Structure 1
Amino acid sequence: MARRRHDLESLLDVAVLVYTERGFDGTSMGDLAAAAGLSKSSLYHHVESKEQLLRLALDRAVEPLFGVLDEPRSRDGRAIDRLEHVVRREVEVLVDRLPYVTLLLRVRGNSETERWALARRREFDHVVADLVAQAAADGDVRADVDAGLVSRLLFGMINSLVEWYDPAAPAALDGALLAETLVRQAFDGLRAVR
């Protein structure tokens, strides 16, 4: 049987699927090699360890999520508008990087890389909570809601997409429409009535 050829990107695609299905702790280099159709020695030619593959895969989720925070519409203007932009773009990133974000949401902190990913997620949550608090101080978000709770609820709603969203489904919404629908549902309930 002929072995498949792989580059690092295709190995990451395989690793993400295996890690998501079996968990990082439940996956061996032998499992990864078998799923890729490679020998273990061929896999080691591409990567040093399963931890390295995990870090590279999680980078594919974390970096674009944080990249949204550097966009001009995330940095400039009223806090409510920046928050809305961040939420909309995070949905679009999730749709674009669905397997990688799914893996990010499944890590439990059992390895150094998983702990790094969890710390980055907490860091992101703090940035969003600060935006909610700024929007409340501006009078644009209802004053009777806790900023940290709002942040967790917003991203709980976004993160739940990994459980049911299938971009290949015949009736699947595209990322932009999905983001717009989620933003409208969330922000219509958050905005202060004037």
Structure 2
Amino acid sequence: MSEMQTTRRGRPGYDQQGILAVAVTAFNEHGYDATSIGMLAERLGLSKSAIYHHFGSKDEILDRALDSALSGLEAVVDDPLPGDATDAVARLEHVLRGAVHVLVDQLPAVTLLLRVRGNTDVERRALTRRRAFDRRITALVAEAQAEGSLRSDIDAAVVARLTFGMINSIVEWYRPGGREGADRLADDVVAIALDGLRHA
């Protein structure tokens, strides 16, 4: 037990995930461009070289954070539906619920993802992955419309954008530990998004 307590990864107090968490918070507060390695070192109470021991560059920190958010969202689409339901609207509901959970669980990283504008190669790669995710959601909406589960008088791409616009807005007001947890929030999103799209 004492051996476990004395085992350290990197400098005392911060492993790679700890540095990443502090960096993402700083990027969200000050913007990626305005946040320097020196600022991170000061905030962490570490030397710059201690940060470079874990990450080769500031871009690598950004890449790791964006990959975490995107991988979570992509996994939701790839995740098989529990049970034997295979219809598109059930898969869409599963994705919406999963996306809310990813957002709540990885709030800082998703917030950062939603703020990237394509100013660097890392950001452009992230935006390419995000557009691919959006296309998969649009295809799922179109499939549910073709099955007759959802109304088809609204363009599938518009449905996908509006639905994820609502989900993405959660980053602006949601605070962990508030009145609604991820499950209740997912119920609310599904009710607002899908009930208005189902046939009467």
Q: How does the TM-score come out when normalised to structure 1?
A: 0.93
Indicate how the Cα distance of structure 1 residues 8 and 43 shifts in structure 2: closer, same or farther if over 3 A, else same. Answer: same
Residue deviations 1:6-62 (CA, integer Å, cap 9, x gap): 110000001100111111111111111112111112211221100000111112111
**What's the counterpart of residue 27 of structure 2?**
19
The CA deviation at 1:174 is 0.9
Q: How far is 1:76 from its partner?
A: 6.0
Asked if structure 2 preserves the Cα contact closer than 8 Å seen for 1:4 and 1:38, the reply is no
Alpha carbons 1:4, 1:37 under 8 Å: kept: no
In structure 1, how many angstroms separate the alpha carbons of the residues matched to 2:47 and 2:12? 10
Separation (CA, whole Å) in 2 of partners of 1:48 and 1:10: 16
Match of 2:4 in 1: none
Amino acid corresponding to residue 34 of structure 2 in structure 1: G
Query: Could you give the per-residue CA deviations for residues 76-120 of structure 1, whole angstroms, max 9, x where no partner exists?
Result: 611111111101110011111111111111111111111111111
Gap change, CA 1:45 and 1:23, over 3 Å in 2: same
**Identical aligned residues as a percent:** 52
65-74 or 29-38, which deviates more: 65-74
**2:111 & 2:163 partners in 1: Cα distance?**
17
Alignment of 1:153-192 (within 5 A): 153-169=162-178, 172-192=179-199
1:124 and 2:133 are equivalent in the alignment: yes
Q: Deviations over 1:133-182 (max 9, x none)?
A: 1111111111210000000000000000000000133xx21101110111
* Structure 2 counterpart of 1:66: 74
Shift in Å, 1:5: 2.9
Aligned residues: 189
Distance 2:73 2:176 in 1: 19
Runs of 4+ with >2 A deviation: none
Instruction: Mark the runs of 5 or more structure 2 residues left unpaired by the alignment.
Output: 1-10
1:76 and 1:51 map into 2 onto residues whose CA distance is 41
Aligned pair partner of 1:38 in 16, 40, 46: 46
Measured on the aligned residues, the alpha-carbon RMSD in Å equals: 1.6
Structure 1, gaps ≥5 residues long: none
Could you say what secondary structure the match of 1:125 adopts?
Answer: helix
Match of 2:98 among 66, 69, 89: 89
SS of the aligned residue for 2:195 comes to helix
Q: Which amino acid aligns with 2:59?
A: E
Where 1:72 maps in the other structure, the secondary structure is coil
In 1, Cα distance between equivalents of 2:166 and 2:40: 32
